[in-house]
Amino acid sequence: MNTVVLLTLTGLGLAALYFLVASGLSLVFGLADVLNFAHGLFLGVGAYATWWAAGNLPGAGPDGFGFVVAVAFGVLAGTLVAVLVELVLIRPLYSRTIEQVLVTVGLSLAGVALLQAVWGADPRPFPRPEWTRQVTPVLGAKVPNAGLLLIVAAALVLAAILAFLRFTRYGLVIRAGVENREMVTALGIDVRKAFTLVFAIGGAAAALAGALGGVYFGSVSPGQGGSLLIFAFIVVVIGGMGSVVGSAYAAVAVGLLQQFVNYYGTSGLGDVCVVALLAVVLLLRPQGIAGKVAVA
Amino acid sequence: MTNSVVDKAVETPAASAPAGPEPSRLSRLRPFLPLVALAVAAILPYSTLHLPGIFEGPLNSPGTLQLLAICLVFGGLAAGYDLLFGRTGMLSFGHALYFAAGVYGTDILVTRAGLPLWLAALFTLTGGTILAALLGAIALRTVGIAFAMVTLAFAQVGAILVARDFGGLTGGEEGLPLDVSGLPAALVGVTNTVNLYWLALAYLAVVVLVVHRVAASPTGRVLAGLRDDERRIGVLGLDPYRFKLVAFTLAGGLAAGGGVVYCLIVGGASPHITSSELTLSLLVMVVLGGPGTRWGPVLGGVLYMYLDHRLTAFGSSGAVDALPGWLSAPLSQPLFVLGTVFILAVYFFPGGLATLTSRLTPLRTALRTSTRRPH
């Protein structure tokens, strides 16, 4: 029982990480049709900016309120990079989808190499508050606090994104744009502003994932974003592209499956099972669990 | 992608046909130019020419020959990948899997199972092709970006299987050095690097031949049609799924063949060839060279691999070290330079290197008229 509770909660922690990366990816894909390969870079920027801020920014530090400032700085940096990428690289190639994907591919290669050039290829120990290293007893299981932090953060982000999409004017534009971009454009609404906004939201969520992932893993390295990104892609496809709620469901399924199979089977088998799940979902329901019936 | 790419692909059958009624001397020679290039490449190892700055040793030194052989293999790989991307319009992000299947298949069958090389190569080729057919059959249920993601996921399984070292077959993170005791003597040892170079050249020639034959065949026209408008092919009563699966399987088999050759050249397998980064590199090669063109992908592949290897040496050279830190650190990362060049290429050279000459034509005519004007 203890093990099951522990595995469930650590699995949900992993799911939270996947969701934070996948939600932005899914929104960007749903609205702009861009598969953003540079999304892992936003995560890396968030992680390194938080790491840098905790050591160098006045008022920021590895503990208490200082850590909140450091994470806020990291999220801000990730958001800025995402907005810059959209304005400088993606926007000039408006509606040339393949070229946009290619540019993000180039950016993912160059960006990760740049991080590596500045901070080296080896993992750096991540500054984390003392309490995230401890465990909390839940139903008799000792659950690491870092995982609980991730779950709470992801739940807050999910609620915030849903509220934004449901109750604000821009949320309405984005929801309509995901459904039918041509129609929204024909109504005289500038979808491109929504593109920038969606990139900013995605960048912020990914940067938060980078900062909290640093706490969860205890270290930060340039390639971290890339390896998480592939599972985030899987989550996006299973969840149905463009659906934030679908991403949340899929992230939970993927995180739990991975954690349980890795524990009860051999290590690494869980990752393989996740891809098997992807294959099964595609065979039964090619549009994903919450996707539109017609896929692009 | 662009119309110029389409036109290039359509004109290919004409270029290989017998010369027309009144061709100029140059256009009569054109079909033989690839043969000339092949002959030059084949006799290259006999040259002791030293090109300082371009290669470290003379052309016939083992180090240079090995670098050239790797470049040639990747030229072939890129040409095979272009069968998917440039000619059929399928954006696969899992091509590294079939290449890695070739490398690890050969390595495991020779080193662990002790099979003779020719048998190992045969099994690996067959296995790689069947793998591509099976996974392609599932992945092709989706289209567009979803297809890209699914192929990426499948390739990721390969990377996990290799890295986690299931059954102790792959050697995990350390990789698996090739056991050379059972190999033919002509392929072993530093002095025999030249044979590996010829093997790589032969692989490149075979891939180019196969890709061009397919592109010029009726199947190739269906593939080009799929790239331009899939619905139209469906309306013609042809099954897009079947044609795409044929292209996917063929490209997978070609990549597995490249893996066999690569395994011999570098003498083993290491897990980094299973990474998605390799597929992304293939995409970069094809786009840099020119997707759907005759020689673009080959050029792109050779050039990319050359730069990837040489930029590392360039990055640690004195010229770069003398630069200020904020400039020399990124320049010492080959992927930073290549990624940046790639982004610029997407913006400014959508057709890649292959269309460079036609893009320069207006400039040349402008220059010619401006020099004539004084007369």
pLDDT digits (tens, 9 = 90+) for A165-218: 889 888 888 888 888 888 888 888 888 888 899 999 999 999 999 998 888 888
Nearest CA in chain B to A37: B280
The token pair that represents A151 in the structure block: 């779950």
Confidence of residue B146 (pLDDT cuts 50, 70, 90): confident
Torsion region of B238: left, alpha or beta (phi above 0 gives left; psi -120 to 50 gives alpha): beta
| A242: helix, strand or coil | coil
d(CA B122, CA B136): 21
Nearest by CB to B156, from A33, A89, A275: name it: A275
Q: How far apart are CA B152 and CA B159, in angstroms?
A: 10
Mean pLDDT of chain B: 82
Please state the length of chain A. 296
Alpha-carbon gap, residue A175 to A165, rounded angstroms: 7
CA angle B293, B296, B298 (to 5 degrees): 120
User: A212-222: per-residue pLDDT in tens?
Assistant: 888 888 888 88
Contact B178, B267 (CB under 8 A): yes
Strands B176-177 and B268-269: antiparallel
Mark which residues 52-81 of A lie under 8 Å from B by CB. Answer: none
Q: Average pLDDT in the B9-33 region?
A: 54
Interface of B with A (CB under 8 A): 1, 91, 138, 141-146, 148-150, 152-154, 156-157, 160-161, 163-164, 166, 276-277, 280-281, 283-284, 287, 329-330, 332-336, 338-340, 342-343, 346-347, 350
How large is the C-alpha radius of gyration of chain B?
Answer: 22
Q: Is A114 on the interface with B (CB under 8 A)?
A: yes
In this predicted structure, what is the pLDDT of residue A28? 87
Query: What does the longest C-alpha to C-alpha distance in chain B come to?
Result: 80
Report the distance separating Cα B34 and Cα B104, nearest Å.
Answer: 32
* % pLDDT > 70, chain A: 98
Comparing A42-51, A90-99, A100-109, A148-157, the range with the smallest average pLDDT is: A90-99
* Mean pLDDT, residues B363-370: 74
Nearest beta carbon to residue A106 from set B150, B332, B339? B339
CB-based contact B145 A296, cutoff 8 Å: yes
- Cβ within 8 Å, pair B164-A108: no
CB contact under 8 A, B335 and A118: no
Of chain B, the percentage scoring pLDDT greater than 90 comes to 28
**Chain A residue with minimum CA distance to B143:** A296
- Please state the three-class secondary structure of B247-297 as a single string: HHHHHHHHHHHHHHHHHHHHCEECHHHHCHHHHHHHHHHHHHHCCCCCCHH
Banded model confidence at residue B7, pLDDT cuts 50, 70, 90: very low
Residue B347: its chain A contacts at CB < 8 A? 92-93, 103
Residues in chain B with CB shorter than 8 Å from the CB of A112 are 335
d(CA B82, CA B76): 10
Q: Is the pLDDT of residue B187 over 70?
A: yes
Cα–Cα separations (whole angstroms), residue A251 to A143, A228, A240, A256, B366: 20, 12, 11, 8, 58
Q: Which of A30-39, B13-22, B238-247 is modeled with the greatest confidence?
A: B238-247
* CA R_g for chain A: 19
Residue B290's DSSP bridge partners are none
Residue B10 has pLDDT above 60, yes or no: no
- Among A22-31, A271-280, B269-278, B353-362, whose mean pLDDT is lowest? B353-362
pTM: 0.83
Please give the torsion angle defined by the CA atoms of residues B258, B264, B269 and B275, in that order, rounded to the nearest 10 degrees. Answer: -20
Give pLDDT tens digits for B193-203.
Answer: 888 999 999 99
User: Are residues B298 and B76 in contact, defined by beta-carbon separation less than 8 angstroms?
Assistant: yes
Residue B253 confidence (pLDDT) above 90:
yes
* Vertex B280: Cα angle to B278 and B284 (nearest 5): 115
Q: Which two tokens stand for residue A93?
A: 């190639």
**Segment B80-107, tens digit of pLDDT:** 999 999 889 888 989 999 999 999 999 9
Residue B134 pLDDT level (bands cut at 50, 70, 90): very high
**Percentage helix, strand, coil, to 5, in chain B?**
75, 0, 20
Q: Which amino acid is located at A206 in the chain?
A: A
- The pair of structure tokens assigned to B146 is 């979803």
**Mutation for B interface: A28, A234, A237, most B CBs within 10 A:** A237
A116: chain B residues, CB-CB within 8 Å = 333
ipTM, two decimals, is 0.82
The answer to which of A45-54, B183-192, B241-250, B299-308 has the lowest mean pLDDT is: B183-192
- Listed in sequence order, the residues at least 6 apart from B322 whose beta carbon sits closer than 8 Å to its beta carbon are B328
The answer to whether the CB atoms of A272 and B157 lie below 8 A apart is: yes
In this prediction, residues B295-315 reach a mean pLDDT of 85
Contacts B2 to A, Cβ<8 Å: none
- Is pLDDT larger for residue B375 or for residue B344? B344
Which of chain A's residues have a Cβ under 8 Å away from the Cβ of B5?
none
Tell me the C-alpha distance between A198 and A24, whole Å.
7
